[in-house]
Each structure stands twice: as structure tokens, then as C-alpha cells.
A and B are shown apart, each in its own frame.
Chain A
Amino acid sequence: MKSYFSFKPEHFNNNGDQGNIDVIGHFADLQNVDLVKTDVLENADFVLFGDASQAAMKHYEDDLGDFVESLKLRLENGLPTLLVGSCFELFWPLLTGVGFERSARVSEFRSVSSEAGVILGYRNSTVSNDDFIINRGFVGTTFFGPVLSINPELLNRILLEMKLEPARWTGQEQALVERVRSDFTDG
């Protein structure tokens, strides 16, 4: 059994960030491993802070602040964690002490090279210097939505850090992912 923690998934799900849980759950299930929800971040094998609206970020500002120390530990140890969009922009400077460079908002598909392969995603952000940061299984990114579904190498990285096996895609599924990745790069 593996566990995940996701902060307020009903509100921190802009553009389907919570789909990343479905993706991990799908491949865990193929390995006969249950992925179950935990309310305690420190106990979780995988942690997700999704992108949220300005209203949600303001409302939960204090609650989010309470997680900084635990997230620092996860970052230092490279534990499987995904900070997306507004939560990435909130937490990253608090975790590292380094702020982002900012420019005019850019909303577009992007690809970045990383140690987990070429990462594709859609971003809509004023952050101009870091779309994707990774330390073993700890990821912060401006790419929102189900990034794990279209970035198989990154998915495998997360699964391995969760002490699971790499994803076993069928040929049809692999072909579909390649088509989506190709659509992204063409689009």
C-alpha cells in the first residue's frame, strides 16, 4: 500500500492537477498496490499541492504556511512531491530563499530539458526563469494539469522514488502518449 496527501483537492485542481493522483494510482494498481489518501503530509509517499485560484490561495494562506517546514524536509530528501502553478510560486521561494524572476504573463505550451527527460506542459505564469525544478522525486513546476500522464520519464522517476516499479504502458497507451506529446510540440 502507498499513500498520498493532496491539499484541498476540491479547490487546488485548476486544469486537472489532481489527475496526477489518478495516473500514479492507475500504475500502482497494475502492480497490485493500493494508493490511499492520507491527511498527514509527513506520512505520505506522494504529496501534491495543485494550482488554485487567487481566492483559494488567499483563503488558505495560513494553512499553506504551516506546511513549509515539512516541505523543506521533503525537498532536502528528494521525496516524491509535486508543487504546481500557484503553489509552486508560493512555496519555492519559502523553501529555498530564492525568488523568481518575473516578466509579462506567458500562456503557452513549453518543453524543458531536465534530468527526468524532456518535460512538456502548459504554463500560464509570470515566472520567467524556472518552469521546472527537480530534486530526485521532488518537483516544482509552472506546468499545470496532469503532467505525469504525458511525461513518462518523469512519471517513472516519481514511481521509483515511491519504491514502485516503472509504469507498464500498453502499446496502445504508449502510442497515445506519443501522439499527445507530438500534438503539444506541433501546436
Chain B
Amino acid sequence: MRAVLAVLIGKLLRFAVRIIRPGGGSALPGLVANRIAPGLLGSALHSLPMGLVVVSGSAGKSSTTHYLVSLLQVHGLRVFTNNSTANIRRGLVASVLKEASLLGRLDYDIAVLELDEGHGAKMADELDVSLALLTNVLSDQLDRFNDPADVILMLEKIGSVASKVVLNADDKNLTQLNCAKNAVGFGILDENERSGLFEYALNFGEHGAVNMSVIATPQEVRITAQGLSFDFPDLPAYQRINVAGAVAALYEIISPDEALVQQVLSNLKPVFARNEPVVVKGVPVQLKLVQNPSSFQLNLGDIQPSNTPLMLMAGSDIHDPSWLWTVDFSKLEKVEVVGGRNAAALALRLMFAGIEVQRIEADPLKAADAFLNLPGSNHTILFSADAMRRVRRHWGLAK
């Protein structure tokens, strides 16, 4: 009864909020529904015949989730999933509200959910996890997580409740987990490439041995047990490892059709705001989401002098902007616009790096409009999640 009430009120609230704020409004309905029926999320996911897959870790959650969903869908499976901005409890409940029947049931075969590591660890005991896909441990969000050691414990917790664990075997932190003993690993074969990938959280211990199931080389994805390989599009290493994770999980969930896997891998598209090309008022704009020092650094690595005008945005989701000082901005000479709630802090950091900043605008919408009016043929934005949400909504790109 409480579940029905929660779903009903949540759906009504969701409808109302989205009239007021198109493209937004998932948090409040999720919050309210969860208050009314705290077990709603667990019971809705428990009802799925092929179970629940969770994807967690410091970085790569959204891309890996997206790739795994695509791989499952191409096999005709109905996959319930969440978007990257709904990876904490209230967002997950909101995702359920969107798709569930009034009884709180989901008419899907399987769920693949991106899960924030902090919230995921707290929710682990109430979720019936069939497979946990763990991406990595970075030195990230220290204002929230305090230390990578705490993130390791969170991922250990998530892995411990899963029937199967698939993990990034390149990351020593993950190979040392207790749940890694029977896990399936994925990774990048080339040592040189590994060093150019994420800076995994510092770890002076031994690299644990994990059965390597999928290896991504620059040219192909190899499934070691089957002796198979799939051709690969030209993707940066940090995206290839996400694909490897998705493929490794796929082989643990179903016996895939090789042709269908190849079809998906040949047609990979950028994930929501991960190097996503859009056109706004006739202006082509490249969107790049940066969520931590590693993703900021990796995205900066892709920036060329031709990426002009360039806007960097640090929104209110960056609680402590100090970490911006761990990013090496030295390849930039000039940034046309610095925007977002933490624009001044980012501009100050750029100033000490000797980079010219032409305009600083804390209001993300004003910054976005000013940026769009700038001359140039390769408008490029690197923005944090909060700034991304606001700008996308402002430009009518909200999903």
C-alpha cells in the first residue's frame, strides 16, 4: 500500500515539477517517494528476472553503464537504467518512478545502474546485486570521501553483496579487495598505455592476481577465454577500458552473439556530455564533462589549439575548488570564458598558471550566452556536472 502511495505521489510530483522546470526535477519526487516507502527501490529492482547489475567506482561509471546497456539491448533485452545525474538514492528512486507501474513493478528484463560509490555502499544491503562492475579508485572528491582508503572500503562493500564481481584489474586498489578473489578482470594490455591512463589512487601494496577476461588494445577487444577479438573504433584509452569493462560484464550475464557485439562496438557514440557534439542556435559546440582531477586532465589532453573559443566552467558541485590546483593547465594559453559558481577560484588557478582569461562570469547562463556569441568555429566547453546541467537546460538540451 505504501509503495502504491509512494509511486502515485511521486509520479504526480514528477509531472508537476517537469511542467515548472522542463528537463529537470528528478530529485524532489525521488526524495518524497523514498520517504513514503523506503523499500520501493529494492523491491522494484528485485522483481527483475535477470537481476541487477551495478556499476560503481570513482570514474567511468556513466560510459561503462552506457556501453553495457547498449550491448544488452542489441540482444533484445529490455534494460532498466538510470542517467548519470541520478546515481544516488533519490535519483534512483526517481528513475524507478518514471518507469514503474503503480504497483512499483518494472517491466524490464534486467537493470544496469550506475551507482555513486558512497551511496552505493550505504544501499548495498538492501539491493539484490547479481553483478557488480567496479571501474577504479581515484584520489577524488576528498572533501566528501576524505581518503581513497574510504572509497576502497565502499567498493569492497558493494562487491561483497554481489553474486559476481567484474573489476578493472589494472587498478591495484581493486585487485586487493576481498571480493577480487573470484572476480573477473578487464584491462589494458600495454604497460605504456596504462601509465597514460588514470592516475589510480596511490597504493604501495602488491598488485593482486585477477583472472583477466577482457583486454582492450588500441585495435581490438580480446575475450581471452573464448579466444575471440572484436575490432575497435578509434577511442582514447580511458574510454577503451570502459568498453572492456562493459564487454567483460556482458559475457558474465549472457552468451552474446558475436555479430551483435561487433555491431555495437563498431558504432560507439559519445556518452551524454562526454565529448558530445551538439548544435546550439546554429553554433556547433563540443561538450566535455569533467568531474575530478583525472577527467579534467584527460579532457585537457584532448584539447588542441583549434578548440577555440574555449570555456571552462566550475559549478557549485565543486565544493572545495582546491583540487583544481592538481590539474596541469600548462598546455592552454588562453581561455575565453571561465564560468560557474566557482569561476573566480578557477580563474585564480589559471592566472597562477600564466593563462590568459578573457572573461569571468559566475552566472552559468550568462557565461553560456556570452560564450555562444564569441566568434570561432570550434566552440568547446569543459564543465563540471552542476554547470553542465544548468547550461544544458538553458540551451534546451536537457534529457
Contacts and interface: CB of A to CB of B under 8 A. Distances in A.
Contact of B322 (A15, A54, A59, A183): A15
B201 interface: yes
Interface string A142-164: 00111001100000000000000
B348 A55 contact: no
Interface in A91-131: 105, 107, 109, 122, 124
B149 A55 contact: yes
B389 interface: no
B322 A55 contact: no
Given A26-B352, A55-B201, A183 B344 contact: yes
Nearest to A18: B325
A15 B147 CA distance: 11
B142 A15 contact: yes
B203 interface: yes
A60 to B, nearest CB: 9
A14 B353 CA distance: 18
Contacts of B345: 180, 183
B344 A124 contact: no
A144 B204 CA distance: 23
B39 to A, nearest CB: 29
Size class of the B contact interface (CB-based, 8 Å): 20 to 34
A16 B352 contact: no
B354 to A, nearest CB: 8
Contacts of A14: 139, 142
A54 B323 contact: no
B143 interface: yes
Contacts, number: 92
Contact of A55 (B202, B349, B360): B202
B214 to A, nearest CB: 28
Most buried by B among A11, A26, A149, A173: A149
Contact of A122 (B322, B349, B352): B322
Contacts of A15: 142-143, 320, 322-323, 325-326
Interface residues of A, number: 33
B144 interface: yes
Given A15-B142, A146-B322, A146-B325, A53 B351 contact: no
Contacts of A18: 325
A134 interface: no
B89 interface: no
Contacts of B360: 176, 179
Nearest to A86: B147
B148 A55 contact: yes
A16 B323 contact: yes
Interface in B303-337: 319-326
13 contacts: A14-B139, A14-B142, A15-B142, A15-B322, A19-B325, A22-B353, A55-B203, A56-B202, A146-B349, A146-B352, A173-B348, A179-B344, A183-B345
Interface string B336-376: 00000110110111011100000010100000000000000
Given A16-B349, A180-B345, A180-B348, 9 more contacts: A13-B326, A14-B139, A15-B325, A15-B326, A19-B352, A53-B148, A55-B148, A124-B143, A145-B320
B4 to A, nearest CB: 39
A84 to B, nearest CB: 10
